[in-house]
Amino acid sequence: MFWIKRHLYYQIKRGQVTVTFVEDDKSITKSCSALNHPRTLMGNFMEIEDCFKSIAKELAPRRFLLQDPTAVVHLLESVEGGYTNVEIRAFREAAFGAGAREICVPNSNSKLSKSQILNREFTEWDGA
């Protein structure tokens, strides 16, 4: 059977998330107060998951013959000491909760191009 693939690119910054539906080049930016924790980017898991869900539902609703999207969750903010595997796992789980079938978390502070996302031309965080 033929399934159409879809990719959502989550760009996470302090206080906001921008999600791009890669195949259509459509984006939504929303503020998220749970991304304002003083020591790390992840403040309140449930609030972040709800934010991810609302954006995913708006950008890439579930439809017949469409795969659940692959999510590329990109943490663009640096935090002192770096991210722990628990924090990275929390972002992965929030994307799973929003309906993604597969999650990639790039280990980079530079935004990715459409080509890099579709061809997975980036390194990922280990151990998450």
- Residue-wise pLDDT for 71-124, tens only, equals 999 999 877 788 888 999 999 999 999 999 899 999 988 999 999 999 999 999
Task: Answer whether residue 1 shows pLDDT above 50.
Answer: no
pLDDT of residue 109: 86
pLDDT of residue 59: 87
- Residue-wise pLDDT for 14-40, tens only, equals 999 999 999 989 999 999 999 988 888
pLDDT of residue 128: 56
Kindly give, in sequence order, each residue whose CB lies less than 8 Å from that of residue 9, ignoring residues fewer than 6 positions away. Answer: 19, 20, 22, 71, 72, 74, 112, 117
- Residue-wise pLDDT for 42-65, tens only, equals 889 999 999 999 999 998 777 665
| Degrees, nearest 5: CA angle 124-73-125 | 20
Q: How far is CA 128 from CA 21, 25, 66, 90, 107, in A?
A: 24, 28, 27, 9, 11
Length of the chain: 128
Q: Which residue has the tokens 């906001």?
A: 16
- Of residues 15 and 66, more confidence is placed in 15
Strand 7-13 versus strand 70-75 pairing type: parallel
pTM above 0.85, yes or no: yes
